[in-house]
Structure 1
């Protein structure tokens, strides 16, 4: 739960909230195995990080940082979940790639495609 002190939206609060929302959405998509193109999430996370860096330049006072501690803790937990889910997703993609490569090598070794390629060269 976010403290009442965060009710007034500072640029820092807004930037942290936006980044958490993007990560939460990406985590949901990864958990539901609905991943299509991942570039959209990467772009949105990069934009949110740029906004966070800009906000930190203007609101780096200890009181401003203390006011967003609950959001920073939530961001940390969300980032850990995101890293775990992305690692699982990347590992799964690697396994699928290995299966495809293995199938292609097997098809080449049994001559399945050699006739097709030989006839195209003629």
Structure 2
């Protein structure tokens, strides 16, 4: 990469000193772009590219959206959120596999810590929702049993028959 930059600088300096009529072929724009593309993107650090950080952020946003909807007691389509979370996890897994020494990047550690905090909040919100669903279903099941039962096989009350 450093050699390419020096080579490019030398070619550009040579063209400026001698001009394009000095017999030096003009460097095509595609070659300039190819050399410039070899530099690491600003989002890269220690082998981490922006795909990993973006995947973490998108997954966190999906989880936070579901948690917020549960907290506001809005209708939540759990199938859609499950698909989005599965897709985000797949994307994150693929990005992490392609990234070298991701554990050493403090930005990834910070993003993963934020994701973990979101997951803890989401789990708590889902647990509250699940407990409420269980309670409501138990009430409904008891009501159905009481309506369908004629009392024949129910426990006798103290002090006499039914």
8 Å contact from structure 1 (residues 59, 65) kept in 2: no
Question: 1:34-81 CA distances to partner (integer Å, 9 max, x unpaired)?
Answer: 134311100000000000000000113147643312111110110000
Aligned length: 105
Q: Could you say which structure has the larger radius of gyration? A: 2
Q: Which residue of 2 aligns with 1:90?
A: 130
Call closer, same or farther: CA 1:87–1:60 in 2, change over 3 Å: farther
Structure showing greater relative contact order (alpha-carbon pairs closer than 8 Å, 6 or more residues apart): 1
Q: Determine the C-alpha separation between the residues in 2 that align with 1:93 and 1:13.
A: 35
> As a proportion of its length, which structure holds more helix?
1
Where in structure 1 are there 5+ consecutive unaligned residues?
A: 1-6, 112-122
Structural RMSD (CA): 1.9
Map 1:21-100 → 2, pairs under 5 A: 21-62=61-102, 65-100=105-140
What TM-score do the two structures reach when normalised by structure 1?
0.78
Moved segments of 4+, more than 3 Å: 62-65
- Mapped partners of 2:100, 2:121: distance in 1: 27
Stretches of structure 2 lacking an aligned partner (at least 5 in a row): 1-41, 44-48, 152-162
